Structure formats: C-alpha cells, structure tokens
Structure 1
Amino acid sequence: MSGATLATGPRIPKHVDRETHGEKFDRRAPDSGGLGGIMGSLRVIELQLVAFIIVFSASGLVPIVDLAFPVFLTVYSFLLSGLVFPNYGNPESLQVFKGNRLFQVYVVVGTVIGLFLPLAYVLGGFARNDQEAVRAATPHLFLLSFQVLSENLIAGLNIFSVPVRALLPILYSTRRLFSLSDWVVNTWVVKKIGVEVALQDETWIWFGRVLSAANAIYYTINLFVFLIPMFLPRAFETYFEDRANFHKEHPKQEKSYMPSLPGKIPVPSLLKKDDPTKEKKAE
C-alpha cells in the first residue's frame, strides 16, 4: 500500500562463485513472512478490493480523472518495462529492504489509517446520509484500493523490473495527495460545526477531520521520506548492478561480415595471395 509490499521481503543470499547466471536468475524468492503475510497473500482482501473498485466506479463518486489514472498508469508501466527498464529476471533484487519490526508496525499503521478507517468512514457516511463526507473520502479510497491490488499482483507475478516497481507507488501516492488535499479542505474548511449541534454529529465531524489530516500527514511523509529518497535510489542501484552483471556474463557475440552463400564453398577472403608482379621484380 505504501510501496512496502514491493520494497520489503526476505532477500535470497547471493552465491556468485558457485552459481551460474542462469541458475541464479531462475530461482524464485519464497513467500515472505510477517509483512508479506499481512499485505502479500491475503486473497480475501484482494477480492474485497476488486469489489470496492467496482462499487466505487459505478457509484459516480469518483471523478473521471481518478477513474482514468489507474488505466493510464498500467499502460505506462508496461511501456516502461518493455522499452526503458526491461526485467533481467533476478528475483534477489526485487526486495530492496529488509522489513524489521518497526517497519512492519509502520506499514500496519498505514494500512489502518489509509484503508480500514476510511472505509469505515465511507460506510458511516452512507448510514448517516452524509453525501459530502462520502464524496470527499471516496477518491482516496478508490486510488488506494487500486494501488494495493496492483502492488500485490506485481509482487506475486514479478513481471516488472525494480525501477518500475518503485515508480508505481510513487505515482499513485503523488496522485492521492491531491485527493487527500481535497478531503482535508472539505472536512476542515467547508464543513462547519454549528452552535447547536448534537454530540454525535460533532464527534462525526471531528472523526473526519482527524482521519483526513492523519492520511495527508502519513502519505506525505511516506512519499517524501521513504519512497523518493530511500526506495527509489536503492531500486535504481540494484537494477543497474543487475544490468551490468547481465551484460558482463552475456557479452554480445560478433557477427561475421562475410556470410557464405548457400550451395557454395566459402572463400577465405582474409588470406593474402601472392602478387605475381612482386615475383617478377624479385627476378
């Protein structure tokens, strides 16, 4: 969700001296425990995310720009993977970070703040018939659901190279910051607390304010402190290292410039023939 699904997991130890390049690249990383068990292999949550995406798309609460953004990003990711950053098939480099306890807590907190609580807020908005609250929080929840689903699919299939896997959560997070800013403006500026307001209504308004502010703060820190300065440079570093090793172990073969014609004996053109004029001069 915060890009950690693509960035963390157990690293496979490298055995460069004992393994060939082909054997090393054919290995597959095992299923990650801890963080991977939370975010990578929950098929039930993935099915629920698909259901949320369909419901949000059909409800008319998501702007057209946000509906088209995942489609554009999917096509753009395939173009980057095929034309700019091809995958060299090294599963050892797909996990850039080792997820420790503190980092797992950070990811779980982001999951609760960014996914579960906004979902409860949207469902509560439907129950209270608060269309403004639902319309303000739905774009963020829609984009986050698409991001989680994309990260889980990419982490399971290993179809993209490390730079593409790093750029995916960065682009999603950048777009979601605009949706979060609209949500913050709606809860803190547009929605006012009246003088004679019930305690339940005031609690509901403050719940939306705190939740929108917490999401904006968390994902701003996640983008500008974790993804861009930490995850992205390490992803490019491991990618260029793998590319250099691949070209080193698979050098380009020189092509013959004088191919032989079919049915004819190739003539050794590089052999020097004796010049008859030189023999006459010698005599």
Structure 2
Amino acid sequence: MSGVSLAVAPRTEPDQANTTEKPQQKSPPNRLQNTPEQPLLGGVGPGVMGSLRIIELQLVAFIMMFSVSGLVPLLDLVFPAFTTAYLLALARFAFPSHGHASSSASKELFQGSNLFRLYVIMGTTVGLFLPLAYVLGGFARGDEYAVRSATPHLFLLSFQILTENIISGLSLFSPPVRALFPMLYTVRRIFVIIDWTKDVWVNKTLPANAQLKGVAWYWFGRCLAMANLVYFSINLFVFLIPRFLPRAFERYFMERDEVRAKMAEDKRPAAMNKSRPADKKDD
C-alpha cells in the first residue's frame, strides 16, 4: 500500500498468462477476490484514474519536471534511489519472495470495503490533485512560497505511486517489502509536509491590502497543508503500522511455512524410494 495508492487494476503475471492446459470451470465472480491491490498514497483506488500506462507517463512527466525545476531539495532527489536500493537488498537477503504464490497472494493482502475506497479517493484528492492545482496556481500567481513548499511533496508522491505500480506486477518483492515501501515514503513525506505547513503558517504573511481572492488563496494553502499533514499522519499511524504491516508479515511467514511443509512432503517419497533398494539387498 502506499501512502495512499494509485487505483489501477493489477497487472497480469507472466505465469498466469500461461496457465494449465486443462480448461478450468468458471467460478462465480467474487468482488473481494477481484479487488486489486491499492497502494496507499501513495495512491488511488481502483478505476479512478484510468489507464495505467497513461498514468505512468504522466507521473514520469511530473517527476522530470520537478527534478529539473530546482525546487526539490537534494535530499528528496536522492531519497527514491536510496529507498529502492534498500528495498532491493531487503528483497534479496532479508525477506526473499516465495515465488509466484507470494506475488498473487500479496494482491489479496488487504481487501478494502467501499468505505476504504472512499478513504483512498479522498487521500488522492487531498494529496495529489489539490497540491498539483496549488502548485500550478502558484506559478500563475507568482507565489514562490506555494510552488517551493508543495513541490517536494508532489515529487516524492509521484515517484512513490509510479514505483508502487511497477513493483505490483513483480514477484521479486514479498509482502513485507511491499508494505515497507509506502511506509518509508510516507514517513519522509510527513517531514516534508511539516516544512510545507511551516512555510504557509509561519513564514508566509498576508499583505495588509490583500483582496478577497488573495485571502482565499492564502487560506487555501494553509488548509491544504494541514489537511495533508493530518491525512498522512492518520494513514501512517492508524493504517500502515498497526494494520497493513502486521498483515504483510503474517502472510509472508504463513507462505514460508507452507513452502517448507511442501518441501518436506516432497522429500519423504524420495527417502522412501532410496530405502527400498537397500532393504532388498539385505534380504
């Protein structure tokens, strides 16, 4: 999950495309089983944002634009590279994937209700769409505070959503690694949002002769920064840590135990076959 997560349909695994030759009976549709994994805004809920490829192209454009604008601090520019390298190390050495079964199971890691989908859509609006409008409006109004304070958050969020959508189709990443990914990004973005909130509430002042539009824009920036801080704090401390992360580890260790039990069962017939020739020789 992401911090919120982009709502997109899950990608088809290569192993799923070439399944068994025997025809399988069609089972009645199950709404919960067909619920795609929902990155946690980091993202958005299913069917909200349209085609995955179009979304990815748009996010890449945002990332490139923010990177070359000089508005993103160096620490935030290198954070995605560090996080990706760290999670690749975790996936290789600490929590290796158990293969295709782990990938398909992770998509059912958290099956959200309609209320949860509404929560994700609200997070997408507050975390992505409104800040983007705020930055574009800041460019149009010449508001340096608006542009500089909200851009780092948008950069990290765009990178998070893009990466979540990419790794959601890879069996390389086990459930714990997928759960840690939005947590690391959300923790970093909370610190960025705190700086954003400080800029609009402390450093930015309203001119004495401000018109009604200026006053509305001033308070829009303040409320938007505070709304992001509240939403992603709740997302981290109420959902990601106490609910999503434990479920990811529970699923991971359950799969590991199943794999070990299956391997033990496969070894028993081989051991029995080896013992039989030895018994015949003794006779």
Question: When the two structures are superposed, what TM-score results if normalisation uses the length of structure 1?
Answer: 0.77
Kindly name which structure, 1 or 2, has the bigger radius of gyration based on alpha carbons. 1
Partners of 1:158 and 1:52 in 2: CA distance: 27
Indicate the residue corresponding to 2:219 in structure 1: 206
Could you tell me whether the CA contact under 8 Å between 1:114 and 1:215 is conserved in 2?
A: yes
The one-character-per-residue Cα deviations of 1:116-146 (angstroms, maximum 9, x if unpaired) are 1100000011111111210100000000001
Q: 1:99 — aligned with what?
A: 112
Counterpart of 2:77, as a letter, is: L
Q: Give the CA deviation at 1:232.
A: 0.3
1:156: how far off? 2.6
Unaligned runs of 5+ in 2: 11-32, 39-44, 269-277
Partner residue of 2:36 out of 29, 32, 35: 32
What is the rounded CA distance, in whole Å, between the counterparts of 1:146 and 1:237 in structure 2? 28
Question: Residue 5 of structure 1: CA displacement?
Answer: 5.7
Instruction: Find the counterpart in structure 2 of residue 184 from structure 1.
Output: 197
Partner of 1:74: 84
Indicate whether 1:122 and 2:100 are aligned.
no
Instruction: Tell me how far apart the structure 2 counterparts of residues 237 and 32 of structure 1 sit (CA, whole Å).
Output: 19
Matched-pair contact (CA < 8 Å) for 1:3–1:166: no
Q: In 2, distance between residues paired with 1:33 and 1:219?
A: 19
Q: How far has the Cα of 1:76 moved from its partner?
A: 0.7
Separation in 2 of the partners of 1:102 and 1:165?
23
Deviation at 1:202, TM superposition (A): 1.1
Contact 2:201 2:222 survives alignment (8 Å): yes
Say which is worse superposed, 135-144 or 193-202, in terms of deviation: 193-202
Instruction: Give the conservation status (yes or no) of the 8 Å contact 2:179–2:248.
Output: yes
Instruction: Give the AA of the match of 1:2.
Output: G
Which of 194, 217, 236 aligns to 2:230? It is 217
State how far apart, in whole Å, the 2-side matches of 1:192 and 1:71 are: 36
Runs of 4+ in 1 over 6 A off after TM superposition: none
Aligned length: 237
Kindly provide the amino acid, as one letter, of the partner of residue 211 in structure 2: A
Write the distance in 2 (CA, Å) between the matches of 1:159 and 1:39: 26
Could you tell me the percent identity over the aligned residues?
Answer: 53
Out of 70, 82, 85, the residue aligned to residue 60 of structure 1 is 70
TM-score by structure 2 length? 0.77
Distance change (3 Å), C-alpha of 1:222 and 1:39? farther
8 Å CA contact 2:131–2:224 kept in 1: the answer is yes
Distance 2:6 2:244 in 1: 12
Residue type at the aligned position of 1:118: P
1:1-283 equivalent positions in 2, closer than 5 A: 1-4=2-5, 32=36, 35-38=45-48, 41-89=51-99, 90=101, 91-251=104-264
Query: Separation in 2 of the partners of 1:64 and 1:33?
Result: 32
**Is contact 1:52-1:145 (8 Å) kept?**
yes
Give the counterpart letter for 2:87 in structure 1: S
